[in-house]
Chain A
Amino acid sequence: MDVVITHDGRNWVIENDRLRLASPTLDELDVELARLMRARGMVKKGQVAKVFMGFDNATIPEWMRPFAQHYFNRVVEVRG
Chain B
Amino acid sequence: MTSVNRKWYSGMATQEDWWAVYLGLFFFFLGLLSIAGVDLVGWAVYPTKWVFNVPEGGKGAISHAFYALGSKYSLTAKAFYKSLGWWSIIWTYVIFTIATCIGAASMKWDLKRFFIGWTIIYFLTIATWFIGHHAFFAANKTNWHQYGLNFALSLGGGASFILALIFGLIIGNFFKGFANYLSVAAKPEWYIKTAIVFLGVKVGYLPIKAAATSAKMGQQMASLTGHLFLAGAVATIVAYLIFWPGIYLIARKMFKLPRKTAAVLGSGISICGVSAAVATGGAVRAKPVVSIMVSALVVVWAVIELVVLPGFFTHIWPGTADPLVAGSAMGMAVKTDGADAAAGDLLDEFMRNKVTAETNGAVVWPEGVITTSAVMTKVWIDMFIGLWAFVLAMIWVYKIDRRPGETVQASEVWHRFPKFVLGYFAAWFIYLGIFFANGAGAPEGMHVLKAAKAGAVPVEKGFRKLFFMLTFMSLGIITDFSKLAEAKFGRMVWVYFVALFCFIIPVAIIIAYLFHHGMQIPNIAGQVAAG
List residues of A whose CB falls within 8 A of some B CB: 2, 4, 7, 9, 26-27, 30, 52, 54-61, 63-79
B430: min CB distance to chain A, Å: 26
Stretch at the interface among B248-256, B278-286, B366-374, B495-503: B278-286
Residues in B with CB closer than 8 Å to A68 are 274-279, 416
* A56 surroundings in chain B (CB, below 8 A): 2-4
A4 contacts B2, CB within 8 Å?
yes
Residue B305 CB within 8 A of the other chain: no
- Contacts A58-B2, A75-B407: A66 and B16 contacting too (C-beta < 8 A)? yes
Contact residues, B396-414 vs A (CB, 8 A)? 397, 401, 403, 405-409, 411-412
B401 to chain A, nearest CB (A): 8
Q: Are A75 and B187 in contact (CB under 8 A)?
A: no
Q: Which residues of B contact A65 (CB under 8 A)?
A: 15-16
- With A63-B478, A76-B406 in contact, is A57–B5 under 8 Å at CB? yes
Chain A residues closer than 8 Å to B278, beta-carbon distance:
60, 64, 67-68, 70-71
Return the chain B residue nearest A27 by Cβ: B403
Nearest neighbor of B337 in chain A, beta-carbon distance:
A67
Closest residue to B6 on the A side, CB-wise? A54
Whether A76 and B405, one on each chain, are in contact in the complex, defined by CB atoms closer than 8 angstroms, is: yes
Cβ B288 vs Cβ A69 within 8 A:
no
A79 & B405 in contact (Cβ 8 Å cutoff): yes
Q: Which residue of B lies closest to A70 (CB)?
A: B415
Residue-wise interface mask of B (260-279) relative to A, using a CB-CB cutoff of 8 A (1 in contact, 0 not): 00000000000001111111
CB < 8 Å: which of B16, B183, B279 contacts A70?
B279
Q: Are A73 and B415 in contact (CB under 8 A)?
A: yes
- Residues on A with C-beta less than 8 A from B1 are 58
A43 to B278, CA, bound (A): 33
Asked if residues A72 and B285 are in contact (CB atoms below 8 Å), the reply is yes
A72 to B393, CA, bound (A): 9
CB–CB B5/A54 < 8 A: yes
Point out the residue from A72, A76, A78, A79 that lies within 8 Å of B412, measured CB to CB: A72
Interface residues of B (CB under 8 A from A): 1-6, 11, 15-17, 183, 187-190, 273-279, 281-283, 285, 287-289, 291-292, 295, 336, 393, 397, 401, 403, 405-409, 411-412, 415-416, 478
The 10 closest A-B pairs by CB, nearest first: A72-B282, A54-B4, A67-B274, A68-B278, A66-B189, A71-B282, A68-B275, A77-B405, A70-B415, A57-B3
10 A-B contacts, Cβ less than 8 Å apart?
A2-B6, A4-B2, A30-B405, A56-B2, A66-B188, A67-B278, A70-B5, A71-B291, A72-B412, A77-B405
A26 contacts B478, CB within 8 Å?
A: no
Nearest CB on A from B253, distance (A): 26
Known interface pairs A2-B6, A73-B411; 6 further A-B residue pairs with C-beta atoms within 8 A, sorted by A's residue number: A7-B289, A54-B5, A61-B292, A68-B277, A70-B279, A78-B405
Query: B288 touches which one: A4, A52, A59, A63 (CB < 8 A)?
Result: A59
**Which chain A residues lie closer than 8 Å to B187 at the CB level?**
66
Of the residues B4, B393, B405, contact of A55 by C-beta under 8 Å? B4
- What is the minimal beta-carbon distance from B245 to any residue of chain A, in angstroms? 22
Q: Of B15, B188, B288, B403, which one neighbours A30 at CB under 8 angstroms? A: B403
C-alpha spacing A39/B336, complex, angstroms: 48
Q: How far is the CA of A26 from the CA of B416 in the complex (A)?
A: 22
B292:A64 contact, CB within 8 angstroms:
yes
**Residues in chain A near residue B287, CB distance under 8 A:** 7
Contacts of B288 in A (CB 8 A): 7, 59-60, 71
- Chain B positions within 8 Å of A77 at CB level: 405-407
> Which of A27, A69, A74 interacts with B11 by CB under 8 Å?
A69
Most chain B CB inside 10 Å of its own CB: which residue of A4, A64, A69: A69
Kindly state the separation between the CA atoms of A5 and B328 in the bound complex, as whole angstroms: 40
Partner of B3, one of A26, A58, A67, A72: A58
Instruction: Give the chain B neighbours of A9 by CB distance below 8 A.
Output: 289
Contact of A67 among B2, B273, B405, B412 (CB under 8 A): B273
A78 vs B187: C-alpha distance in the bound complex, in angstroms? 42
A68-B418 Cα distance, complex, nearest whole Å = 9
Report the Cα distance A74→B411, complex, angstroms. 11
B95 CB to closest chain A CB (Å) equals 23
Q: Which of B1, B3, B190, B289 has the most CB of A within 10 A?
A: B3
A65 to B295, CA, bound (A): 11
Q: Of A26, A64, A78, which contacts B295 at CB under 8 A?
A: A64
Q: Is the CB of B415 within 8 A of A26?
A: no
A5 nearest in chain B by CB position: B4
Closest Cβ–Cβ distance, residue A27 to chain B (whole Å): 6
Query: Chain B residues near A71 (CB, 8 Å)?
Result: 278, 281-282, 288, 291
Contact B406 A30 (CB under 8 A): yes
Chain B min CB distance to A69 (Å) = 5
